[in-house]
Structure 1
Amino acid sequence: MIAKRCVLDSNVLIYHLNGVLNDGMEKLLADVLLNGPYISVITRIEILGWRRHTAASLQYATELLSYVNEQGLTTEIIQKCIQLRQNLSIKIPDALIGATAIHLALPLMTVTSFEIRGTLSHDQAWVPDGAHGRS
C-alpha cells in the first residue's frame, strides 16, 4: 500500500515508541511521516503526558511529534466529538481523534479496530494489514 496523508491515531505512535510495530508498519509509518500527517491535540497530550518517560524517551517522542501537523480543537470538532460520544460507547480521546479525521476529511490510520470505525467510511478508517506485532 502506498503511504497516504492521514490522521495518525495515538496508538500508531505509541506502538512505534514502544517498539512493537512490525517492520512493514515501521516502513509505512516512515513513509506516512513524509506526507505531512495530522494528529489531534489529544494525541500530543497522550504521547507526552505519559508519566514513565525517561529524559531520552521524552526527547525522542517530542522529536517524533515535530514531523506531524497538530490539529487543535475547533467548535466543529467538539460538536462531532459530542455526536460520536452520544452514539457510541467510546472514550473521549478516541472520539476527539475520530472527529478530527472526519473534520479534516482524511483517513484515520490506526492499529486497532475500535467502535468508531463503524461511523467512518471505508476511506476514512485505515488499519494497514499486519498493523502490530513484530515480524
Structure 2
Amino acid sequence: MSTTTPRARSCHTVTWTRQSLGEQPLRDVRFRARQWLFARGCDDDLVDTAELVLAELGANAVAHGGHLTAVTLDIVPPTIEEPGVLRVSAHDTGPDLPSLGAARTGRTDEPLRECGRGLGIVAALSRTWGAVRQQGRHKQVWCDLSFPQHA
C-alpha cells in the first residue's frame, strides 16, 4: 500500500459526491461509473473490474468510514513512455487508514469469514493501491487499474 498519490496527467476525470447520488449511493455510483467508462471507449473487462473495485472501496467506506462522501474516476491514457491508468477513488470521513495486513488474520477459520476480503480483492485486481488522509478526518482510498493501449 502506498500512502501517497502519484501525480496524475489526467485527461478525463469525474467525481460524484454523496449529494449527487440517490438513496442507494453504492448502486447509483456503480451504474454511473459503467456508463461513464463505456462512453470513453473502455472495454468490458476494464469496466467490470472497475465496478468490482469501486463496490469494494465503497463498501469499505461505508463500513469503516462512516459513509461514502465521494467517488472519483480518473483516466490517464497511455503514452509512448507510460502505460495508461484508471484510478478509482473512494472518499469517506473515517480517521483510520486501511491496512491489507489487518484484513488477514492467519486464523484457520479465515475461509469461513463473512467480511475482510474486500481490500485483498482490490489489491489483487489493481496495479497498486493506497490511502491518504485529506483535510484532517477525511481520507481517500484509491487503486490504479491498467488502462489498455487500445481503449
Q: Same fold (TM over 0.5)?
A: no
Q: Name the structure where strand makes up a greater proportion of residues.
A: 2
Instruction: Decide which structure has the larger Cα Rg and report it.
Output: 2
